Structures are given as structure tokens and as C-alpha cells.
Structure 1
Amino acid sequence: MSELVEILGDSVLNNQGQQVNVKDLSSEDVVLGLYYSGHWCPPCRMFTPTLIKFYDKIKSKGKKFEIVFISSDRDEESYEEYMKTMPWLSLPFGPKSEQLSEKYGVSGIPTLLLLDSKTGKVITELGRAKITTDPEGTNFPWRNDS
């Protein structure tokens, strides 16, 4: 079993609610962002458009970058409404979100962790700050805190 399947489960959802096999995300050259956010959170709603712009920019440069939204929403309706605004994947609404927050020590939102999709190891816990200071992604994915 791949490390990502162990972390995320067998499938995640695209923003139309269709299942995507997590094994398809496991590759040595894919950087996977775990984006902890919530519709109710004003700083999250301010950062999400910045992240969308950054995501589109990195993808247009041909870099392999995927994001999985990890919801901190209080109900499934809010989660679904917020997810529709995002171009990336999402963990299905439910208790797995809280488990992942605990696993990675996420105590506040918005938080963006970057993982090596092959190994599941954290590249940086400072994705949000890095995007703010390096909006062009010159040093993406900021390995070894570059």
C-alpha cells in the first residue's frame, strides 16, 4: 500500500464530487499540498484565492503539484459549497480530517503542508508563508527550507 493511501485513504474527491484514486497521486515528482481550511474562516477565505492563483501558476510551469483540501467546516453543506470554489481535490467530509490534523499537529487554519507524494514525508509545514514570500514559486517546493 502506498504511503498516501495510508494517509488519505483509497480515494479523494474532485470539485465535482467524483472519486479520484489516491494511488494515482503517488509519484516521485509530485508535490502534494494538504490544505487545511474552512468556509467559516475569514483568513482562509482570503488565502484561498491566493493559493488558487499560485496553484495555477505552478501547474502552468509544468510542475507536478496537487492539493487536497482538508476541511475544518462544521457541516457538510458548508464543506461542499467551499469545495466548489477550489480547482483541486478534497478529502471527503468526515472524521478523517480531524485525524489528519492531529497526525501533522495542525492547530490553526489556513495551513498548507507540502508532502513528497511518493514517501508521504513532509517537505515543509510552512506552505502558506512560503507562497506569501515567494509568490512566483521560484524556490518551490521549498525543500530544506530554501
Structure 2
Amino acid sequence: MKKVVLALTLVIILAGAFYEVKHFNTSTSNNQSVSEQITSTSNSSTSSTNYNTSSPQINPNAFNSKAIDFKLKDLNGKDVSLSDLKGKRVFLNFWASWCPPCRGEMPDIEKLYDETKDSDLVIIAINLGEDKDTVRSFIDKNNYKFKVLLDSDEYVAQKYSITSIPTSFFIDKNGTIVAKKIGAMSYEEMKDYVNTINK
């Protein structure tokens, strides 16, 4: 009887060990591929010459949710609310002046702004955590004209679950998020995303 119990116990231990090894190998493989994706994404978003220029991948099930309303001050101290922009298309960009990929895409945001300023597209760049003087100095130095809002305490960034910058949202005339992009974009990619709004 003792031999049967001992043999059974040994089989259970070996089966458990086999499962753990197999599970560990699968888990390690999955983690490695996720790590490689993160590295690849990081490399593409930090290089100003290595943008992803493929067409935007829009998954309607991932979005189609209402953009969260907010009220922030612009560089002139005027309140701006997202709800005030209902009926317009919105390109919402989260950034900071210390962020190289953010700085890298800003000339293209300005180019897009120049081409669309008389249309129903509103470009809003929300600065995260910096004081007004720092932001104004950066914007003035580069002669950017698109609207900049200050999220000094990063409250709006938290509402939008911003984990890295730049991050951009593309919002339709009804206030619905139709696309999101994490990382820097080229001018062509920005146009592709903008074209997905209210197609």
C-alpha cells in the first residue's frame, strides 16, 4: 500500500514539474515577444527618422467610446472645453517639451495646422506637467500656432490613461474617439489618421 501511495505521489510531483517547465517556457516566450514589441515601438517612436508610415489600423471595437470632457486653460489663460468643440473634428495630442519624440513631430503638427486651420479640424496639444512660462517659451521659440492647453497637474492625462508621450486621439464631430496613436507620427501618418474621422 505504501508503494502505491509513494508511486502516486511521485507521478503527481513529476506531472506538476512538467507543467511548470512547459508553462514557464510558454510564458518566457510570450514575455520575450512582448518585450521585442515594446523595444520595436520604443525605437520607432524615439527616432525622428523612423516613423511608422503605414495606414492607421482602426479597430472600431477598441474605440467608439465618447471622449472624456475636460476644461483646461490655454497659454492666454482662456478656458477651453472639449465639449465646446462638438460638431468639429479634433486631433488631440498629449506632449511635453522635454520629450524628444514630441518635439520631433511638432513641425509636422504645425504643417497640418497650416493646411487645415480654415477647416472643421481643431488641433489641440495638451502639455503635461510643465509650467506656463516653460511651455510658452518653447511654443514661441518654434513659432507654433496650433492651440496649446496646460494640464499642469496631469489630471486630464490620467482621465485619458496616458502612459507614454506623445499620444494622440482622433475624435469625430459627435465627440467619439475613432483612433488612438501612441508614439510620434510623420505628417503623412497624421493625415491618414485625420482622414479616418467622419469618413
> So what's the TM-score if we normalise by structure 1?
0.68
Change (3 A) 1:78 1:116: same
Counterpart of 1:7 in 2: which secondary structure? coil
Contact 1:39 1:73 in 2 (8 A): no
Unaligned runs of 5+ in 2: 1-65
- Across the aligned residues of Structure 1 and Structure 2, the Cα RMSD in angstroms comes to 3.3
* Number of the residue aligned with 2:86: 27
| Counterpart residue number, 1:108 | 164
Shift of 1:115: 1.7
Matched, 1:8 2:70: yes
1-structure distance, mates of 2:162, 2:182: 13
Cα distance change, pair 23–42 in 1 and its aligned pair in 2 (3 A):
closer
Residues 105 and 63 (structure 1 numbering): CA distance in 2 closer, same or farther, change over 3 Å? same
Kept after mapping to 1: 8 A contact 2:102/2:184: no
- Deviation of 1:109 after TM superposition, in Å, equals 1.1
In structure 2, C-alpha distance between the alignment counterparts of 1:72 and 1:22, rounded to whole Å? 16
* 1:38 Cα deviation after fit: 1.0
The Cα shift of 1:130 comes to: 6.7
What number of residue pairs does the alignment pair up? Answer: 132
Give the gaps of 5 or more residues in structure 1: none
Residue matched to 2:149:
91
Q: Distance in 2 between matches of 1:99 and 1:132?
A: 28
Percent identical pairs in the alignment equals 19
